[in-house]
Chains A and B, each alone.
Chain A
Amino acid sequence: MSAVTEWMDRREFLKGLGAGLLVCLTHGGVMAQESGRTFGGHALPKEVSAWIHIGADGKVTVYTGKVEVGQNIRTSLAQQVAEELRVPFGRIAMVMGDTDLVPWDMGTFGSRTTPTMGPELRMMAAAAREELLRKAAAQWKVSVTALKVEDGRIVDAKSSHSASYGELTRGEKLVSVVEGQEALTPATEWKVAGTPVPKTEIRAFVTGEHKFPSDVVRPGMLFGAVVRPEGFNAKLISVDTSAAEKMPGVQIVREGDFIGVVAPAMYTARQAVEAIHAKWDVPAQPSNDGLFDYLKSHPDGESQPEHQAGSVEQAMAAADVKVEDKYTVQYIAHAPLEPRAAVAEWNAGKVTVWTGTQRPFGVRDQLMEAFSLPVEKVRVVQPDMGSGYGGKHTGEAALEAARLSKAAGKPVKVVWTREEEFTWAYLRPAGLMELRAAARRDGTLVAWEHHNYNSGPAAISMPYVVANQLIQYHPAQSPLRQGSYRSLAATANNFARESHMDAVAHAVGMDPVAFRLKNLADLRLIAVVKAATERFGWEKARSTATRGYGFACGNDKGGYVAACAEVEIDGDKRVRIRRIVQAWESGAIINPDGLRNQVGGAIVQGIGGAMFEAILFGNGRILNPHFADYRLPRFRDVPEVDVVLVDRKDLPSAGAGESGLICVAPAVGNALFAATGQRLRNMPMTPDRTVPGVAVSGLTS
């Protein structure tokens, strides 16, 4: 209770809300296990409180620290609240990602919104509904069980009493504290959740009215830009700012190696940066060539096996069929179409920053630390942004804008250029995977060894039944700044495993799907394997030299996925992906339309990393920091995409923004093998430009 009381005092936020019902959850919530973590050396508040406010006019406002980045949670979370409250969807307004208005949240990543924030809000909504029922029952002196609630109204059929939520709360401020667990409405009874409600506020996106973070304008706002070092880990030797200083209205801001400018126009700010001549000392650094040896020989601390069973050594020695190989993935960029952007404004010692981030509270911590500010002196506001894909966990632009604004004494906007976004953000880790497997002639897997260097442990564990296993992730010292990414290492690990599974299937002479089914016990995975292959017509698919069919499956973060791919290879060894059928299951579906959109988008994004995306780098520089040199999936690259959704109303909903990617590369690679007999073990498989240090596949796309 006390944490909540403090929180309420700190915010002073109740004042503004007027009469109504306010629900706060103090403990026992599904998110409790996520609280209390530390980031950047800050102990984060332990209280986990979430809020719903029902106004006297019946309008419902929901407060959440999760942010909308295109994954459609503004809609899907509102659907769930509407469901439990029994109010029409249109009556819900979501306040998201404003650190002054919403309860603390770790951030929007890892497919956590649906499995954690969803149930959290549902529980609070259910508690609010129950509280209002109790209040009505007391007023009318009837039993709660006699009452019905529909459309935001409580009705007593017998006495013909009826009142809207708004009428029940009018003139009175109710604070309900949820102590226990309320019964949630089962998915089989959902009326609003589980339906394809269109994206909320969609109109503002087709008229240009929606204000993305880079669109925020403040009165008296100036524009900032930053002088970037010549390379990573560079030291400033000297700088000449005299030419820039002479430009009208330009202010130079220097703090150590940070050199920034503020100007009355964005154009002038950029010109001023161009006019500043800085000399840097850039140390020699690794490049793509030799990257994987580098990662293997530069461990970052000791590592332990993720999973170990039996003896791989003994099983390998005795096995009929053995397959051993290496797989690699390159660094790739998130390349959100909206680059990092922020507007900062200082008022009486308090800084407010509007920025695009997946972790508004994380950015708040960064600002508190950078400017030695207490929590109440920093506000981060996150307007629905031009996406992130895991690439916007950090607050670089926010810090720069705040620093420049503080120096200028005016609001300042910073928008990163595409080149800055490619160079100074962080990347999806590159990785080396070394796999060994053994099977009996009848197709029974007996041994599996999987090492991942640098890229991460996500989805590294074996979904197949194998008696002897050694599964290990080896963290390495990455030569480039790396971080989170949509489905992170699950892409790399699933690529390696599912390509290797295909290789073993061919080695034992089995159909790749039959081979997988022989070694699978997980019923959810088996169900999507069947759904995808049936829709695709796998039974009848016979690969030829110019047309290949491939399959892959996997699971991660509660999402179960299976994909069949059809590829075509022409006389010039040019590859076209013709068709992808992907089955998806992540428990009870909250919004089938939004889910289809997410899974379809993940497939398209997956095509980029599978076929042509790669960061080229050397000596502390990114060598292809432009869309002209870093190929993104475009209209022409998109095959016929067929998403088969499996709705498991009996299972809790899991997040669906990420794992839709993880089968694309192996399914396509396996299809290419089926056609050409060539096993493609390096992602991207068909790059436009040779990636130094990677054998040329000879295929293009």
Chain B
Amino acid sequence: MTEFVLQVNGASMRVEAPAEESLLSVLRYRLNLTGTKYGCGEGECGACTVLLNGKAYRSCRVSVAAAANAGITTIEGLERHGVLTPVQQAFVDEGAMQCGYCTSGMIVEATALLEENPQPTEEQIVARMNGNVCRCGTYPRIVAAVRRAAEGGRA
């Protein structure tokens, strides 16, 4: 067990964990930040996506030790003072979910995408989001939500 100080959503959080434990496991089961989801634990579904210094990572494939020096943003850290981000708002406006279990990962992935490429084409959205699974099959609405967010909510 090692003690780590993680920077999560702007707050310092102290946690003891084996260095090789995944960031996902630490977030969900040690820090009770359950907005980040487990879907496969193998980097194949994107449910666990978080931002490390603004870039999207599969938190099931990142060790807590590797994340210790980064600024971590989870789904819980996107909203500011009760105001949803444009991506979150676009998911609401498009009704871009069914069960909503993939939604955290989708929103975080899309947030990173728009940070890097504020005006993606539909093909770019599809290519970038392809690693995120929505078993409910809400893909067309998710694409529409990302476009809407890119267009400043006026899609």
Contacts and interface: CB of A to CB of B under 8 A. Distances in A.
A626 B133 CA distance: 13
A176 B19 CA distance: 61
A196 B115 CA distance: 32
Contacts of B39: 337-339, 418, 627
B95 A69 contact: no
B6 interface: no
Given A208-B36, A604-B139, A598 B133 contact: no
A: interface residue count bin: 35 or more
B101 A207 contact: no
Given A198-B92, A266-B25, A628 B138 contact: no
Interface stretch (A28-36, A314-322, A633-641): A633-641
Contact of A70 (B44, B76, B91, B136): B136
B67 interface: no
Nearest to B126: A635
A601 B44 contact: no
B29 A418 contact: no
B133 A337 contact: yes
A505 interface: no
A217 B29 CA distance: 9
A386 B76 CA distance: 18
B135 A336 contact: yes
Contact of A387 (B38, B107, B136, B140): B136
A634 B25 contact: no
Contacts of A223: 29
A267 B137 contact: no
A662 to B, nearest CB: 15
Interface in B113-137: 125-127, 129-137
Contacts of B18: 267
B133 A632 contact: yes
Interface string B77-96: 01100001000110110010
A206 B88 contact: yes
A335 interface: yes
Given A337-B45, A597-B141, A206 B95 contact: no
Contacts of A339: 38-39
Which one of A70, A208, A209 has the greatest number of beta carbons of chain B within 10 Å? A208
A559 interface: no
Interface in A198-229: 198-199, 202-203, 205-212, 214-215, 217, 223
- SS class, residues of chain B in contact with chain A: loop
A628 B44 contact: yes
A385 B98 CA distance: 10
Contacts of A353: none
B52 to A, nearest CB: 17
Nearest to B85: A206
B84 A635 contact: no
A627 B135 CA distance: 11
B37 A209 contact: no
B59 interface: no
A217 B136 CA distance: 26
Nearest to B128: A635
Contacts of B45: 337, 627
Contact of A207 (B17, B32, B78, B129): B78
B40 to A, nearest CB: 4
Contact of A217 (B34, B101, B104, B132): B34
A417 B41 CA distance: 8
A670 interface: no
Contact of A337 (B32, B47, B139): B47
Nearest to B134: A337
A387 B101 contact: yes
A601 B38 contact: no
A664 to B, nearest CB: 11
Nearest to A606: B137
Interface of B: 17-18, 21, 25, 28-30, 32-42, 44-45, 47, 74-76, 78-79, 84, 88-89, 91-92, 95, 97-104, 107, 125-127, 129-143
7 contacts: A208-B75, A212-B101, A266-B28, A267-B29, A601-B98, A601-B136, A604-B139
Given A207-B75, A338-B99, 9 more contacts: A199-B97, A210-B100, A217-B34, A337-B39, A418-B41, A601-B137, A603-B137, A638-B137, A638-B139
